[in-house]
Amino acid sequence: MKKGEQTQINVNFISNSNSQTISLVSTSTAAFDDLSVKSSVETIQLSSNEPISIPIQISASENALSGTYKVLIGGQTDDVTISKYLTLQVES
């Protein structure tokens, strides 16, 4: 990803049990505002075995330092949190 660019990824959630409310979790290892990780929703309601795809926007600011960053994306309920780190390379 180049400075000033943004990309979208889709995160898929599926429940193996009854209806659940999932809170989205996202953060990055970037200092200051070098990277922005945003979603249009903060919570989702899952029904059993019905997948939901949530778009996540990742943006690198014009002033971002070049380098390799980790972005954490996941979901959590009252009982469990599941997350995944993505590796993101910011270039000049």
- Structural contact between residues 19 and 43, judged by C-beta atoms closer than 8 angstroms: no
What are phi and psi for residue 22, nearest 5 degrees?
-115, 130
Q: Which residues pair with 74 in a beta bridge?
A: 25, 83
Q: Is the pLDDT of residue 80 over 80?
A: yes
**Mean pLDDT value across the chain:** 91
Where residue 92 falls among pLDDT bands split at 50, 70, 90?
confident
Write down all domains in the chain, each with its CATH number in brackets: 6-87 (2.60.40.2310)
Tell me the per-residue pLDDT of 41-69, one tens digit each, with 9 for 90 and over: 999 998 877 889 999 999 999 999 999 99
**Any bridge partners for residue 44, and if so which?**
22
Contact between 52 and 12 (Cβ < 8 Å): yes
